[in-house]
Structure 1
Amino acid sequence: MLGATVPAHERRAKFRELLAGDSIVQFPGAINPINAQIIEQTGFEGVYISGGAFSAAMGLPDIGLTTLSEVAAHGRNIARVTNLPTFIDADTGWGEAMNVARTVQEFEDAGISGMHLEDQVNPKRCGHLDGKEVVSVQEMSKRISAAVGGRRDENFVICARTDARAGEGLDKAIDRARAYADAGADMIFPEAMKDLSEFEKFASAVDVPILANMTEFGKSELFTTEQLANAGVKLVIYPVTTLRIAMGAIKRGLETIRAEGTQESLVDGMQTRADLYETIDYAAYNSFDTDIFNFSQEGHR
């Protein structure tokens, strides 16, 4: 009731434990708090908070228009309701080195378990679009060092994303990954890989875990967790999947209502009132209210 029962520092420790484990783990993207609750109740190991999904939900393109305060508030709302580790998209860190350090601390204060920084220039572009530009290895290494220096909880995971595959080629992207790990990155996020062998080459090149972004309509095939695990991947994220599922269903539903003049034919596919109440633990709120607000004026006049 009211939120997570597992403290933020324990969720961060759990994130570290998952990354050090033998099994691949899955973090679906949550577009809002109830989405995170459903992810937890479905049995996933963690929750991803996508910058692309958040910007789309605000009616904006994924080009760095959302602010640190907006993203931190969004992340806080999601982290508040789940006992799972939460992993958030920090884009390019919202500024120079000191800004990046502040970004880490804002996310720590929001209860987030880890974040990833990318090596794109500002304004950034979606990772699966063409025309991306990256900063120098030295500049990105400074971003990572600043993030590590700003961290107060050693278990807060700092992941380095490289978008260099498209513009500089695989070998140079791998060289960047090595440099980023040397700068202190706890995990590497190689964006827009073309096949499993590319993931495998990254995993073999660095001594930190590798992340795979399984986003739809992108440059990577939608590989299974078994395929990715065999390629050496430790963490899989599904950034915009739940947004796309929801928006597709909403659009079809609205078209049906417009055409038929009623939502009657849609009811069987909806979340029921009972399921909604179970998801948000409505009964616990009712019990709390009944137990606490039982004061009577009788005998106190």
Structure 2
Amino acid sequence: MLYSTTSAAEKRSAFRADLASGRLLRYPGAFNPLSARLIQRAGFEGVYVSGAVLAADLGLPDIGLTTLTEVAGRSQQIARMTDLPALVDADTGFGEPMNVARTVQALEDAGVAGLHLEDQVNPKRCGHLDGKEVVDRDTAVRRISAAVTARRDPNFVIAARTDARGVLGMTEAVERARAYQDAGADLIFPEAMAGASEFERIRSAVDVPILANMTEFGKSELLSTSTLESLGVNLVIYPVTLLRLAMRAAEDGLTTIADQGGQAELLDRMQHRRELYDLVDYAGYGTFDSSVHDFRV
């Protein structure tokens, strides 16, 4: 049957060990629970749950309109589908430091391996758009400190994202990275780095692992995994890639149906029914159902 056979505690322990391994971890963004299964089958090291993707899935812009309940619920659905660790975008923590503490515990309960918190003001914006603002450094540090204090599983990873580079400059981004490490962050996420040299500056500034966001159509150069590994990056996320691919395929399919009057020309571009059934373990559910329900007197 289709559910994770690895406990949340085991996933968190694995995430910790992976971050300390020295190899680059690749975390594509899952746009729904089933896509998390595809990520695992494709041989990636983990799954990312993007706030931008969750907002888009709800038909909302990425400006802090989603709630903790929505994020925790979708995170739990995704985590249950895969044996891989899941890292979740928790935006600004959904409020003040006390809210941040609750966010950490809610996402622990959802079974994910870690989260990241950012230093933007509320309402936040996509990290690759102009016009965003960041809170003062002390406020951001209090968010991280609250998260570290609130976690119950010491292996639950607290990542600190700074958006300061696009607002206050690279020097402030470096200083914030150091401050967040000192506050207890396990992983530093410098958002909207322009290129390799800026990742090098962050890498030289902190001793904890660092994360690179390789999102399309943003402010960052799309660097290869070999380049990122050579820079000392420990984890790379591809947050919106699968959603963008799926939405373009759906749009093209709908255009074909409208223009051609049917979907016959699209069959070779579809996942076959047998492939879908295999992915959702149709046979396994049938076997289980027969073993507990079908019987003879």
Matched residue, 1:166: 166
Alignment of 1:157 onto 2:157: yes
Code of the residue aligned with 2:255 in structure 1: it is: E
Equivalent runs, 1:31-46 vs 2, <5 Å = 31-46=31-46
Distance in 2, matches of 1:102 and 1:88, equals 15
> Which 5+ residue runs of structure 2 have no aligned equivalent?
none
Cα distance in 2 for partners of 1:2, 1:231 equals 38
- For 1:119, the equivalent position in structure 2 comes to 119
Normalised by the size of structure 2, how large is the TM-score? 0.99
How does 1:244-255 map onto structure 2 within 5 Å?
Answer: 244-255=244-255
Give the equivalent residue in structure 2 for 1:17.
Answer: 17
CA distance in structure 2 between the aligned counterparts of 1:133 and 1:157, rounded to whole angstroms? 25
Secondary structure of the residue that 2:39 maps to in structure 1? helix
TM superposition shift of 1:22: 2.0
RMSD: 0.7
Alignment-mate amino acid for residue 132 of structure 1: K
The residue identity in structure 2 corresponding to 1:17 is A
Equivalent positions of 1:136-215 (< 5 A) are: 136-215=136-215
Q: How much does 1:41 deviate?
A: 0.6
Alpha-carbon separation, structure 1, partners of 2:2 and 2:48: 21
Q: Which residue of 2 aligns with 1:239?
A: 239
Structure 1 residues 181-223: Cα deviation after superposition (integer angstroms, max 9, x where no partner): 0001000000001110100110111010010000000001111
The aligned residue for residue 66 of structure 1 is 66
- Alignment length (residue pairs): 297
Match of 1:97 in 2: 97
2:188 counterpart SS class: strand
In structure 1, what is the Cα distance between the partners aligned to 2:108 and 2:128? 28
The one-letter code matched in structure 2 to 1:199 is: F
Measured in 2, the distance between the counterparts of 1:168 and 1:290 equals: 62
Q: Does 1:30 align with 2:30?
A: yes
Q: Amino acid of the residue matched to residue 95 of structure 2?
A: G
The structural deviation recorded for 1:98 is 0.9
The answer for the alignment partner of 1:129 in structure 2 is 129
- The two structures have a TM-score, normalised by structure 1, of 0.98
Q: Secondary structure at the match of 2:167?
A: helix
AA partner of residue 190 (structure 1): P
After TM superposition, give the deviation of residue 294 of structure 1 in Å.
2.8
What amino acid sits opposite 1:138 in the alignment?
Answer: D
| Partner SS state of residue 168, structure 1 | coil
Comparing 117-126 with 165-174, greater Cα deviation is found at 165-174
Counterpart in 2 of 1:269?
269
Q: 1:171 Cα deviation (Å)?
A: 1.0
Distance in 1 separating the partners of 2:25 and 2:271? 27
Look up the match of 1:75: 75
Deviation at 1:118, TM superposition (A): 0.2
**Structure 1 vs Structure 2: percent identity of aligned residues?**
61
The 5 A counterparts of 1:284-295 are 284-295=284-295
C-alpha distance in 1, partners of 2:167/2:90? 22
Paired residue type of 1:186: D
Alpha-carbon distance, 1:2 to partner: 3.7
Does residue 10 of structure 2 align to residue 3 of structure 1?
no
AA of the residue aligned to 1:231: L
